[in-house]
Structure 1
Amino acid sequence: MKELLDPRNDFVFKRIFGSEDNRDVLLAFLNCVLAAGEGPLLTEVEVQNPYTDKDSPSDKQSIFDIWAKASDGSLIDVEMQLFNKYDIEKRTLYYWSKRYSSQLQEGQSYKELNRCITINLLNFSIIPNDLYHNVFHLRERSSGIILCNDIEVHIMEFSKLNHCAMPAGSGLLNWLLFLKNDDSYDWEALRLNEPKLDKAMDTLQFLSQDKEARILYEQRQKYLHDQASMLDWAIDNGLKKGLEQGLVQGLEQGLEQGLEQGLEQGLEQGIKKGIEKGLEQGRLEGQYKKAAEIAGNMLELGIDMATIVKASGLSHAEVEDIRIKRKL
Structure 2
Amino acid sequence: MESFNRLNDLYFKKLLGDKKRKNLTLSFLNGILNKDDENYFTDITFLDKDNEPLTLDGKLSKLDIRADLNDGTQVDIEVQVCPFKFMAERSLYYWSKMYSEQLEKGAEYKKLKKAIAINLLAFDYLEDEQEWHNIYNLLNVKSHNKLTDHIEIHFLELPKFTLKDMRKIRASEAWLAYFSGKYSKEELEEIAMTTPAIKEAVEFEDTFLQDKIERRAYE
- Any conservation in 1 of the 2:85–2:125 contact (CA below 8 Å)? no
Q: Is 2:194 the partner of 1:193?
A: yes
**SS of equivalent residue, structure 1 residue 137:** strand
Aligned-pair distance for 1:62? 9.9
**SS of equivalent residue, structure 1 residue 93:** helix
- Any conservation in 2 of the 1:14–1:64 contact (CA below 8 Å)? no
Unaligned runs of 5+ in 1: 51-60, 219-328
**SS of equivalent residue, structure 2 residue 193:** helix
- Structure with greater strand percent: 2
- The aligned counterpart of 1:18 is 17
Aligned-pair distance for 1:18? 0.6
- Any conservation in 1 of the 2:188–2:198 contact (CA below 8 Å)? no
- Structure with greater helix percent: 1
- The aligned counterpart of 1:70 is 69
- The aligned counterpart of 2:149 is 149
Structure 1 vs Structure 2 CA RMSD: 2.1
Against the structure 1 CA distance between its residues 149 and 41, is the aligned structure 2 distance closer, same or farther, given a 3 Å change threshold?
farther
Distance 2:23 2:98 in 1: 24
Q: TM-score, normalised by structure 2?
A: 0.85
Distance 2:157 2:93 in 1: 20
Aligned-pair distance for 1:3? 4.2
Higher relative contact order (CA 8 A, sep 6+): 2
Aligned-pair distance for 1:27? 0.4
Against the structure 1 CA distance between its residues 205 and 49, is the aligned structure 2 distance closer, same or farther, given a 3 Å change threshold?
farther
- The aligned counterpart of 1:204 is 205
Q: Which amino acid aligns with 1:152?
A: E
Matched residue pairs, number? 203
- The aligned counterpart of 1:7 is 6
CA distances 1:172-230 after superposition (whole Å, capped 9, x unpaired) = 11100101122457011110121111111111111111111111111xxxxxxxxxxxx
Unaligned runs of 5+ in 2: 50-59
CA distances 1:35-92 after superposition (whole Å, capped 9, x unpaired) = 18xxx54221111148xxxxxxxxxx89460001011111100011101232111111
Aligned-pair distance for 1:144? 3.0
Map 1:1-328 → 2, pairs under 5 A = 2-3=1-2, 5-35=4-34, 40-49=39-48, 63=62, 65-127=64-126, 128-161=128-161, 163-167=162-166, 168-184=168-184, 186-218=187-219
- Any conservation in 1 of the 2:61–2:94 contact (CA below 8 Å)? no
Distance 2:2 2:26 in 1: 27
**SS of equivalent residue, structure 2 residue 196:** coil
- Any conservation in 1 of the 2:133–2:155 contact (CA below 8 Å)? yes
Q: TM-score, normalised by structure 1?
A: 0.58
Distance 1:9 1:35 in 2: 25
Q: Which amino acid aligns with 2:215?
A: R
**SS of equivalent residue, structure 1 residue 174:** helix
Q: Percent identity at matched positions?
A: 32
Distance 1:140 1:129 in 2: 20
